[in-house]
Structure 1
Amino acid sequence: MASILMLPPELLAFLLSFLRGIDLSRVSLVCKRFKEAVDADWIWQQRCKREYGVESLNGWKSQSYRTFYTKILYHYGFIFGVWQADIEYYGGLVHVSVEDGLIVANQLVPACESNVQKPLQKKKLFSITLDDEDRVEIMCLKGHEGPHECIIQSTGVKRNSFRATCCEPHKHRHTAGEGQEFESWLEEELDNVNDDLHEHIRDILQTKFEITRPYETKCLYKKMVLPLTIQDVPIQPGLFKGTYAANGVEIVNVSYHGDKMRVTKVTGDPHIPACEITIEADLNSQMVLTKHQQETRAQLEDLDVDDVIGGDENPELQPFIIPAGVSDRGLYYFEESKNIEQCRARYAGTGQLAAHGFQNSSSSPGHLIIFDEELFGFLWLELRTLSVFSRVLYRFD
């Protein structure tokens, strides 16, 4: 009777290479022939590539794909991808990928100024690698005293969340006290400290520092699934950077739910926290306005939406102007690169407002304005401001 054990060693190894890594370890216990086949390192190279997208050990200290798979990828490969930091009010966007022989977690932070054209900045959180003796080395990369030990633990049943815990929290505290620690944090937050920083802005940042400080040494991260491209929508879903007055630039996620376009915060603030809806628009209420109808905020407020819905005759472009008395939060940065005197579409929508601590939340009327695939705005009628949102162009692969 024919048996799989009668196959040539190379063919047996080829067939076994299609098994998952965890199954390969079990198969190696069946018999000597299976163990010899599974010991071929190229099989584990295939598992590293197919299961985790790691094609080469260039830059890594380990020279064995099996060691790399069993000690690194099997235990920590699940953290590759995009995560949301579970930080009270503020949240956070984190990307975990391979960089120069390390698994590195980078927090992606928007620039503090209202220029949403600026790319996200990277702040390293932790790294995972193997040392010269193939021992796992997990290091916290935050704090004032350089890299130090850290623990990564899966907390979700489907590995959809994990916790990073610093083993030496004292290395995150400044030797000169909390006051100097705040000044150092402020310098990093703003790239450089402005002596003319408005007292109100400084107070907002002081609040952020005090709330987020405990999460420096222990933080939970939850898996994020970025939306796929879809057809027949005014703008493709995905991540955008948006302007929020004194709270600066925040990251939001655009998604679609039936006839609604929804904008949800990925990073937030004590008024509208991360994970909460900030803007929602009705795709059945596409408006077409003349320049005259946009000249003042009062004219926009007096519009009867039913009278300006375009129906089946919506033009590809329509005029756009910022009404008198409405503050522009960053659209002027696009004057040279885009035609901001026209928009592709305009919809009636609502924005969420709330007091500090997400208290007494309410919906405020406004207009969602689509300029192109990388830029949209929301005109808050009640607040008399235009928030601007620019697509995040960071590569997450």
Structure 2
Amino acid sequence: MEECACLCVVGSSRGCQCCQEGQGPVETAAAYEKHIEVDESADECCVGSGGFSSPMLPPPPPHCSLQDLPVELLVEIFSSLPVTDLPSLALACIKFHHILHIDSIWRRRCREEFGVCENLQNLEKISMSYREVYAKLLHPYRHILGLWQLDTEGYRGLLNVVVDGLCITGWTFRPCLNAHVDCPMLFEPTFRIRLTERKSATVECMEGRHSRPHNCHMQIQKDRLTTQCKKTDHRKDSPARLRDEWGRVLVQKVRQRYDCLTYRRLYLPPSQPDDLIRPGLFQCNCSAYGLSIAMLSFHGKYARLTKVTGDSNHSLEIHLMRRIQLPDGEIFRNFNELSRVVQEIDKQVIRERQQQQEDGTEESEGHGWQSPAQPSVRESLAAASEELPVPFVLPVGVLSMDQTYPRTCRMCFYGVDTFTYTVTLNGLACTGRHPGVFILFDENHFGFIWPEMNYFILFSRVQNTFQNVEAPSSRAFLEMLKNIQSGPP
């Protein structure tokens, strides 16, 4: 009892619970009064000695651990954590290990990261969980999602790899003959990656004249993707041109054997507030192969239109500082006047670059592709955007495969079309250069006129949406843009 009284003096003055237990009301009151007397005497002692009474310490907070939280709350917390933290979390304790096997966590992961909207019944049919789909299919093959360019010796294709239900499917763009540029892009399946009954991912080729989907090998690198099929009847369609007895171009599909196909990563250009229009992919009907795909990107004083699919390496350089004035659109009715204006600007551009080479002030490779838009460019484009559209009519004598083009345009710029082709006899690469007029119709349409060839091509924005196409940095996008103009990987 004395020991307890001493502890109560140091602690709270309300009395000791252990002393009060087993005592009646009278004994409890007496003990309480005794404690008060001891406290008062201690206070008087402190005051008389010139000291200070020690304040009473607050009770220690109750011990709380993450393991004490309800399971429902832990599931919500674990679902929002980075996936790289979950393996370490599973090793923390047995409770966390069991919680991380709850399928609702991985169902949310599959939906938010990859857009998988399958229900539980579909998974139950194949005796598989969301955790297995995420760990054995989606996460290991996440690096191949996005756009890829197939580069063969004769034709360049486009591949879009997406999450398709409980599979990952590679869809190849197939050019369609007699299709308008405003039509959506058409894709056909090339390969798929799925989980088998053994719960392991397998790559299957979807092409072949006689065989059903069959196994093929895939090699994934940083910016390269290679597929190899060992089937003897594996053929890949590639377009080829023929001419009839009247000289007209005919197109047919020639089946060539491609045992190994190599793709390279394709990023879409980033968008900036100062861009003339929103960059991206555009379709054009510029060859006998059908629709082709080109990429429009902006780089300060210049814009570039790079051909992504087709049979040649075309790159259109648009000079945003060299605008062609359009007084009421009359310049389009006089084709000779339009050609004269283009030739004068082209001669001036050549003289300026020759002078820059002599002075040693020539712009770096790519003509300033990395430089941001200058204030003069922004001010010029902002003023031009406020102008009213002018009538547009295709000049007399200019040919085009698209007659349903817009009838008004906003502005025009000087541009140069450069292309590279290989001479069959000696294998040398030759480069051609043709100046022309870049015509901006609206946000989704533009065109280009080649005065030397009397030809006009209409470009229309691709309406398909793509995912996982953002470049990790501006440098990575510029490097990718440079590689498109090179040979096969």
TM-score (norm 1): 0.79
**Equivalent residue, structure 1, for 2:462:** 392
**Equivalent residue, structure 2, for 1:352:** 418
Q: Read off the aligned partner of 2:387 and give its amino acid letter.
A: P
Between the aligned partners of 2:441 and 2:245, the Cα distance in structure 1 is: 32
1:203-239 superposed Cα distances (whole Å, 9 cap, x missing partner): x868xx58xx45x432223332223443343332111
Do 2:173 and 2:186's aligned partners in 1 also have CA atoms closer than 8 Å?
Answer: yes
Residue range with higher mean Cα deviation, 281-290 or 136-145: 281-290
Q: Read off the aligned partner of 2:138 and give its amino acid letter.
A: L
**Equivalent residue, structure 2, for 1:320:** 392
Change (3 A) 1:72 1:111: same
Q: Read off the aligned partner of 1:164 and give its amino acid letter.
A: T
> What is the aligned counterpart of 1:74 among 114, 139, 149?
139
Residue 159 of structure 2 is aligned to residue 94 of structure 1: yes
Residue 201 of structure 2 is aligned to residue 136 of structure 1: yes
Residue 235 of structure 2 is aligned to residue 165 of structure 1: no
**Equivalent residue, structure 2, for 1:53:** 115
**Equivalent residue, structure 1, for 2:276:** 234
Between the aligned partners of 2:454 and 2:69, the Cα distance in structure 1 is: 76
Do 2:118 and 2:166's aligned partners in 1 also have CA atoms closer than 8 Å?
Answer: no
Residue range with higher mean Cα deviation, 65-74 or 225-234: 225-234
Residue 445 of structure 2 is aligned to residue 362 of structure 1: no
Between the aligned partners of 1:282 and 1:106, the Cα distance in structure 2 is: 35
Query: Cα distance, 1:353 vs. partner?
Result: 3.6
Q: How does 1:150-161 map to 2 (within 5 A)?
A: 150-156=216-222, 160-161=223-224
SS of 2:141 mapped into structure 1: helix
**Equivalent residue, structure 2, for 1:283:** 320
> What is the aligned counterpart of 1:249 among 271, 291, 295?
291
**Equivalent residue, structure 1, for 2:95:** 33
Between the aligned partners of 1:232 and 1:62, the Cα distance in structure 2 is: 53
Residue 185 of structure 2 is aligned to residue 113 of structure 1: no
Q: Read off the aligned partner of 1:387 and give its amino acid letter.
A: I
1:6-53 superposed Cα distances (whole Å, 9 cap, x missing partner): 333333343333333343234323331221121111122222233323
**Equivalent residue, structure 2, for 1:20:** 82
Between the aligned partners of 2:157 and 2:119, the Cα distance in structure 1 is: 30
Between the aligned partners of 2:109 and 2:417, the Cα distance in structure 1 is: 47
Residue 371 of structure 2 is aligned to residue 301 of structure 1: no
Do 1:13 and 1:43's aligned partners in 2 also have CA atoms closer than 8 Å?
Answer: yes
**Equivalent residue, structure 2, for 1:177:** none
Query: Cα distance, 1:201 vs. partner?
Result: 3.8
Structure 1's consecutive aligned runs of 4 or more residues displaced over 4 angstroms after TM superposition are 57-60, 193-200, 310-314
Query: Cα distance, 1:79 vs. partner?
Result: 2.2
1:79-138 superposed Cα distances (whole Å, 9 cap, x missing partner): 222222233453222212233433211112232336323322111101122234433232
Change (3 A) 1:231 1:92: same
Do 2:303 and 2:320's aligned partners in 1 also have CA atoms closer than 8 Å?
Answer: yes
Query: Cα distance, 1:267 vs. partner?
Result: 0.8
Q: How does 1:205-244 map to 2 (within 5 A)?
A: 213-214=256-257, 216-244=258-286
Question: RMSD in angstroms over aligned alpha carbons?
Answer: 3.2
Query: Cα distance, 1:391 vs. partner?
Result: 1.1
Between the aligned partners of 1:194 and 1:84, the Cα distance in structure 2 is: 25
**Equivalent residue, structure 2, for 1:176:** none
Identity, % of aligned positions: 30
1:52-74 superposed Cα distances (whole Å, 9 cap, x missing partner): 23243565535411111111112
SS of 1:170 mapped into structure 2: coil
Query: Cα distance, 1:241 vs. partner?
Result: 0.9
Between the aligned partners of 1:62 and 1:87, the Cα distance in structure 2 is: 41
Between the aligned partners of 2:173 and 2:413, the Cα distance in structure 1 is: 30
Residue range with higher mean Cα deviation, 279-288 or 6-15: 6-15
Between the aligned partners of 1:148 and 1:197, the Cα distance in structure 2 is: 42
Change (3 A) 1:322 1:148: same
Change (3 A) 1:219 1:62: farther
Q: Read off the aligned partner of 1:259 and give its amino acid letter.
A: K
Between the aligned partners of 1:258 and 1:89, the Cα distance in structure 2 is: 33
Between the aligned partners of 1:64 and 1:95, the Cα distance in structure 2 is: 26
Do 2:147 and 2:161's aligned partners in 1 also have CA atoms closer than 8 Å?
Answer: yes
Kindly tell me the number of residue pairs found equivalent between the two proteins.
359
**Equivalent residue, structure 2, for 1:337:** none
Do 2:178 and 2:290's aligned partners in 1 also have CA atoms closer than 8 Å?
Answer: yes
SS of 2:447 mapped into structure 1: strand
SS of 2:441 mapped into structure 1: strand
Residue range with higher mean Cα deviation, 311-320 or 143-152: 311-320
* Structure with bigger gyration radius: 2
Change (3 A) 1:205 1:18: same
Q: How does 1:263-278 map to 2 (within 5 A)?
A: 263-269=305-311, 272-273=312-313, 278=315
Residue range with higher mean Cα deviation, 16-25 or 136-145: 16-25
Query: Cα distance, 1:366 vs. partner?
Result: 0.1
**Equivalent residue, structure 2, for 1:333:** 404
